[in-house]
Amino acid sequence: MTAGDICTHRLSIVTGHYGTGKTEFAVNLALALAQEGKPVMMADLDIVNPYFRSRERRQMLESAGIELISSSQACSDADVPALPAELLAILENRKVRGVLDIGGDPVGARVLARFQPKIAGEDYQLIYVLNANRPEVKTADAAIRYLRGIEAVTGLTCGGIVNNTHLCGETTAEEIRKGAALAGAVSSQTGIPVLCHMAEAQFTNQLSDLREPVFPITIRMKKPWE
């Protein structure tokens, strides 16, 4: 199954709690879509997380033919809640697939609120990245409360869940399965489908029995000290 089969909408708006790996998913998704021959634009709108920003992989993304815009192009280390005018190009150009990496909490998600009427009129999907090892969202009830907060701030409705449960270098197939169970519980209570389970390629064969597709990734976002 291709990335285009997993994320079928023109706009993929990626959110999730801080540390869930939403930027990792956004970057891998954009690269996969580009490899499948789709014209891709990506927006780094994360003004919350100072460590994992898709703009830090600008050269790699642009080498793959992906046009990247960010909330702070003049200063890559600045955290200012300002949206670039180029964001309208992603929203209005229906010939491209857009991947929007937004902040990992309701405060970060607020940057999209003023564009809600425009986004709501487009073919979009708000994607909630879930990591069962994040204490704040490790239960279905907590994960749902967090998700509803993001929906309330953005005025957008979540259309898909991505399980990205990991322990960095200590990740095992069983950890990913633990996340699959949590994602399934959230899906059951909300009616929001699980789109896929993120996993490095070494785990894909071990997870072939999962009901939803496994999205193989390469770790792109390194910790600042790595």
- 110 falls within a domain: yes
- 88 falls within a domain: yes
pLDDT of residue 73: 42
- 129 falls within a domain: yes
Residues 6+ apart with CB under 8 A from 193: 159, 160, 161, 187
- 225 falls within a domain: no
* 101 burial type by CB count under 10 A (0-12 exposed, 13-18 middle, 19+ buried): buried
Question: Torsion-angle region of residue 21: left (phi > 0), alpha (psi -120 to 50) or beta?
Answer: left
- 159 falls within a domain: yes
Q: Which domain holds residue 130?
A: 3-217
- 222 falls within a domain: no
Count: domains in the chain: 1
- 224 falls within a domain: no
Coil vs helix vs strand at 101: strand
pLDDT of residue 44: 86
CATH assignment at residue 59: 3.40.50.300
- 8 A C-beta contact, residue 199 and residue 216: yes
First to last CA, the chain: 32
How far is Cα 64 from Cα 186, in angstroms, rounded to an integer? 34
Give the pLDDT of the chain (226 residues) as one tens digit per residue.
899 999 999 999 999 987 888 889 999 999 999 999 999 999 888 765 554 456 667 788 999 999 988 765 444 444 444 566 778 889 999 999 999 998 766 666 777 887 889 999 999 999 999 999 999 999 999 999 999 999 998 899 999 999 999 887 788 999 999 999 999 999 999 999 999 999 998 898 899 999 999 999 987 765 543 4
How far is Cα 218 from Cα 221, in angstroms, rounded to an integer? 9
pLDDT of residue 88: 86
pLDDT of residue 224: 44
- 223 falls within a domain: no
Q: Rounded to two decimals, what is the model's pTM?
A: 0.89
